[in-house]
Amino acid sequence: MGYSRAVQAGPMIWVSGCVGTNPDGTYPPGLADQTRRCVERIGDALAALDASLDHVVKVRIYTTTIDRWEEIASVMGPTFADIRPANVLVEVAKLVDDALVEIEAEAWVG
């Protein structure tokens, strides 16, 4: 589609929306597992730019099932407990394929 997984400009890194696919392209069946994979993929994108999840300052979470937000929080809360980035959670009508959640992130490495 002509985009980058992550782009760095100065001390800022923007990570494109990541859905929770496994390395083989399949989706885990549960919302929490998909959320976990989203975060892992964000971590990998940051690592490619010599950054980590510790640098995240904002996340945007899109889900098709906002009433199940606690499943998302069960992953995001412990992952970002010490960092506590700004956050938004938005319900959308549909995501690509079998995705239940998509997460994008911004990081500061200054």
Query: How many CA atoms does the CB half-sphere of 24 hold within 13 Å?
Result: 3
**Multiple choice CATH, 6-108, 1.10.10.10, 3.90.1720.10, 3.30.1330.40, 2.40.110.10:** 3.30.1330.40
Residues contacting residue 32 through CB under 8 Å, at least 6 positions apart = 71, 72, 74, 75
pLDDT of residue 2: 75
- Per residue in 27-80, pLDDT tens? 999 999 999 999 999 999 999 999 999 999 999 999 999 999 999 999 999 999
Rounded to two decimals, the pTM is: 0.95
